[in-house]
């Protein structure tokens, strides 16, 4: 089975559009992008397009790459104060000279629709999430849409980043799964991965996950976005692994669209809390 994140996200966006219409609210998202990395610019454009589609207003703050941490903090402070702005999305990564932690920590937790602020990550860890990071939350929504049971499942996650691996583990723990997190120092990664009922890869290496690493019948979620011979591919060798897995996400059209839909949902949630 192909887990079609594009179709599920379209359905969620339509529902959200209706909800926003009925609410009488006009949620607003501010995106902050530093520098002109083409991939980051493309992600921000996609987020603005999704806003337009569901009835969320959006503004884009563009800051040149030779900026300072203080300058970005000023922009964030302004957005924090602006009562017309419900959500702030800081497009990562920031240039090397910037203290990324200080900038993330400056976003007001009530507007932290990306869920990266330590308070939001802490709430998620404590089992009482307010805003959860969009990619792992989108994966939970995708699994729920396909009625793939999570409670009691063995979930193995490759990657321990703050935006994917760690919050994914927390969301899965909160949903009663049994979790293993793997990373570059994991001793026998294939053996760990073969235990998975649900295997989630967020490593960032093309064709990193091969069929020998997948238990027959496992559900495989591919978070990776990589370029291979001019094509966009995930971490999973899709054509080979789909023969072993019971369900699998494609790249593109799997996790990516779910991430954007979740950002829209988080922004509406922020607006309802502020109204
Ligand atoms: P990241 O911060 O670079 O983290 C990569 C993780 O993979 C790290 O924890 C690293 O381990 C681990 N890793 C690297 N090589 C490994 C190896 N040989 N064996 C086991 N683990 C290994 O990346 P990220 O931000 O989580 O993103 C991961 C991928 O997902 C990227 O391709 C990114 O573009 C994509 N992504 C997609 C979406 C989406 O919406 N679809 C959203 C976010 C990210 P260490 O911690 O030990 O270094």
Coil, helix or strand for 55?
Answer: coil
Percent of the chain with pLDDT over 90: 100
| CB-ligand 1 contact for 202 (6 Å cutoff) | yes
| CB-ligand 1 contact for 31 (6 Å cutoff) | no
pLDDT at 148 (0 to 100): 98
Atom of ligand 1 nearest to the CA of 164: 26
C-alpha 164 – ligand 1 centre gap (Å): 8
Mutation choice for ligand 1 from 161, 209, 257, CB with most ligand atoms inside 8 A: 161
pLDDT mean across residues, the chain: 98
pLDDT at 37 (0 to 100): 94
pLDDT at 154 (0 to 100): 98
Whether 163 is catalytic: no
pLDDT at 232 (0 to 100): 95
Query: In 10 A of CB 184, how many CB atoms?
Result: 9
The packing angle between helices 5-23 and 38-54, to 10°, is 50
Q: pLDDT tens, 16-28?
A: 999 999 999 999 9
Q: pLDDT tens, 18-54?
A: 999 999 999 999 999 999 999 999 999 999 999 999 9
pLDDT at 27 (0 to 100): 98
Instruction: Go through the domains of the chain in sequence order and give each one's CATH number.
Output: 25-110 (3.40.50.10860), 134-255 (3.40.50.720)
- Which pTM was predicted? 0.98
Q: Which of 112, 114, 197, 237 is catalytic?
A: 114
Rounded Cα distance between 106 and 66, Å, is 20
- The single-letter DSSP state of residue 93 is P
pLDDT at 225 (0 to 100): 97
Whether 91 is catalytic: yes
Coil, helix or strand for 211?
Answer: helix
| CB-ligand 1 contact for 139 (6 Å cutoff) | no
- The single-letter DSSP state of residue 269 is H
Atom of ligand 1 nearest to the CA of 234: 32
C-alpha 131 – ligand 1 centre gap (Å): 21
Q: pLDDT tens, 142-191?
A: 999 999 999 999 999 999 999 999 999 999 999 999 999 999 999 999 99
Atom of ligand 1 nearest to the CA of 225: 32
pLDDT at 66 (0 to 100): 97
C-alpha 202 – ligand 1 centre gap (Å): 4
> Residue 246 — very low, low, confident or very high, per pLDDT cuts 50/70/90?
very high
The backbone torsions φ and ψ at residue 32, rounded to the nearest 5 degrees and listed phi first, read -125, 120
Rounded Cα distance between 163 and 151, Å, is 22
pLDDT at 112 (0 to 100): 98
> Residue 61 — very low, low, confident or very high, per pLDDT cuts 50/70/90?
very high
Q: Confirm if 129 and 123 have CB atoms less than 8 A apart.
A: yes
Q: pLDDT tens, 63-106?
A: 999 999 999 999 999 999 999 999 999 999 999 999 999 999 99
pLDDT at 247 (0 to 100): 98
pLDDT at 149 (0 to 100): 98
C-alpha 30 – ligand 1 centre gap (Å): 26
C-alpha 169 – ligand 1 centre gap (Å): 14
Whether 227 is catalytic: no
Protein residue with its CA nearest to atom 2 in ligand 1: 161
Protein residue with its CA nearest to atom 22 in ligand 1: 184
Q: Which of 47, 111, 215, 242 is catalytic?
A: 47
| CB-ligand 1 contact for 23 (6 Å cutoff) | no
For 180, the token pair is 């293993």
CA atoms in the 13 A half-sphere facing the CB of 253:
7
């Amino acid at each position: 089975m192909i887990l079609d994140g594009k179709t599920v996200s379209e359905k969620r966006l339509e529902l959200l559009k209706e909800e926003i219409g009925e609410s009488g609210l006009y949620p607003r998202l501010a995106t902050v992008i530093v520098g002109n990395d083409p991939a980051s610019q493309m992600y921000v454009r996609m987020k603005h397009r999704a806003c337009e589609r569901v009835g969320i207003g959006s503004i884009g703050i563009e800051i040149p790459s030779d900026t300072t941490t203080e300058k970005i903090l000023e922009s964030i402070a302004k957005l924090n104060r602006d009562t017309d702005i419900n959500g702030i999305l800081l497009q990562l990564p920031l240039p090397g000279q910037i203290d990324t932690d200080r900038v993330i920590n400056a976003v007001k937790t009530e507007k932290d629709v990306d869920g990266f602020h330590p308070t939001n990550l802490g709430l998620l860890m404590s089992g009482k999430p307010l805003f959860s990071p969009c990619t792992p939350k989108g994966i939970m929504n995708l699994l729920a849409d396909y009625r793939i049971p999570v409670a009691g499942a063995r979930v193995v996650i490759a990657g321990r980043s703050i935006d994917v691996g760690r919050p994914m583990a927390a969301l899965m723990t909160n949903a009663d799964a049994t979790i293993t997190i793997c990373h570059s120092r994991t001793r026998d990664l294939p053996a760990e991965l073969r235990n998975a009922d649900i295997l989630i890869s967020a490593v960032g290496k093309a064709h990193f996950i091969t069929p020998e690493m997948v238990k027959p019948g496992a559900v495989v979620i591919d978070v990776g976005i990589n370029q291979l011979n001019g094509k966009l591919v995930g971490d999973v060798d899709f054509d080979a692994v789909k023969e072993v897995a019971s369900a699998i996400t494609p790249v593109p059209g799997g996790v990516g669209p779910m991430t954007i839909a979740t950002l829209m949902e988080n922004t509406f949630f922020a607006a309802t809390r502020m109204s």
